[in-house]
Amino acid sequence: MTDALETPDMQYARLGRTALRVSRLCLGTLNLGVRMSTDESLQLMDQALEQGINFFDTADQYGWQVRRGFTEEVIGEWLALGGGRRDRVVLGTKVFNPMSDRPNDQGLSARHIIAACEASLRRLGTDWIDLYQMHHVDRSAPWEEVWQAMETLVQQGKIRYVGSSNFAGWHLVAAQEAADRRHFLGITSEQCVYNLVTRHVEMELIPAAQAYGIGVLAWSPLHGGLLGGALRKLEQGTAVKTAQGRAMVALERGRDTIAEYEKLCAELETDPAELAMAWVLSRPGVTSIVVGPRTPEHLDGARRALEMRLDEDVLARIDRLFPPIGNGGPAPEAWAW
């Protein structure tokens, strides 16, 4: 059996060491119902599914601008339209962040994991979650407690797989070793920030994930819009995400580098966003990138990135603009001989 599968419309890969196949583009849903209307959100999910994207990612806290859980409600409305939508989608959501001001309505206690899962199922209007992800490590929760809760949910048929997000490499190791002692499958995927600007995961996280058969899902492949033609959009007055948050902070520090990157893209006659996504997709260990389109055009661009092949010269020029940490590669060679 090969790890990758390609159809005329989409590429698929196994999620880590599991037999589950997911599209190499994962539909991130942070914008649904918030930066776009509910109707636009429903249409975008239909378009993603039509284009072969079978992997949708959300979190119980998303939509907090309206109310916590609102994005799951929007997805639930879409699933309720029927037409085989639920069966065609690998659906992931997350647990950890506060869902109220109550002290036990957050974190990774057994109580909160189980209660939060049941609440997500109600909002999503489904009987099961394919990938239930820990949104952040909880340093106060023993792994025995976390895995007891996750095992309960698997046994009840409420979740199929467990994933993590924003973990360090040693957290993956500690979590997986604890799961192995319980003869439990454990972590199947880690969702981490990974892009040209933020390459820290290359040192320890990705090597740990590869060693344990954990798939890597890269979120923010454009660093909040920074790598999507930020300078051009600011000049044209069309910047949305680029004009705020992490993108703006990074742009203030690295404007000259971003200018050179956009010149390279112009020389290659390539859209900056598509080149940035293609680069992440080309990296060892990466299963899927989590894209957060707001328009059908954004989704089309992600598909073009999937089809792009980068030669060694282009990769070398990108590395000169955005050098890896230290000496490059995994630790300890990244900082030692």
132 labelled catalytic: no
pLDDT tens for the chain, 337 residues long, are 346 666 667 999 999 999 999 999 999 999 999 999 999 999 999 999 999 999 999 999 999 999 999 999 999 999 999 999 999 999 999 999 999 999 999 999 999 999 999 999 999 999 999 999 999 999 999 999 999 999 999 999 999 999 999 999 999 999 999 999 999 999 999 999 999 999 999 999 999 999 999 999 999 999 999 999 989 888 887 766 665 677 878 888 889 999 999 999 999 999 999 999 999 999 999 999 999 999 999 999 999 999 999 999 999 999 999 999 999 999 999 999 8
Site of tokens 């994991």: 113
pLDDT tens for 76-124 read: 999 999 999 999 999 999 999 999 999 999 999 999 999 999 999 999 9
**Biggest CA-to-CA distance, the chain:** 57
Residue among 274, 250, 269, 257 nearest 317 (CA): 257
What's the confidence (pLDDT) of residue 252?
Answer: 84
In the set 62, 132, 212, 261, the catalytic residue is 62
4-224+273-303 homologous superfamily: NADP-dependent oxidoreductase domain (3.20.20.100)
pLDDT tens for 25-69 read: 999 999 999 999 999 999 999 999 999 999 999 999 999 999 999
Q: What are the residue boundaries of the structural domains of the chain, listed by start?
A: 4-224+273-303
132 C-beta neighbours (distance < 10 Å), count? 24
How many degrees, rounded to 5, is the angle at CA 118 between CA 114 and CA 120? 115
How many degrees, rounded to 5, is the angle at CA 302 between CA 3 and CA 199? 70
Instruction: Supply 289's token pair.
Output: 């990138």
Cα→Cα distances 273→227, 281, 296, 306, Å: 6, 12, 15, 12
The side-by-side arrangement of strands in the sheet containing 11-14 is 4-6, 11-14, 21-23
Cα→Cα distances 119→16, 29, 151, Å: 27, 18, 18
Instruction: Supply 227's token pair.
Output: 């790598």
What's the confidence (pLDDT) of residue 212?
Answer: 98
What's the confidence (pLDDT) of residue 239?
Answer: 64
Contact 252, 235 (CB under 8 A): no
What's the confidence (pLDDT) of residue 3?
Answer: 60
What's the confidence (pLDDT) of residue 1?
Answer: 30
Beta bridge partner(s), residue 26: 290
Query: The pTM is what?
Result: 0.94
159 C-beta neighbours (distance < 10 Å), count? 24
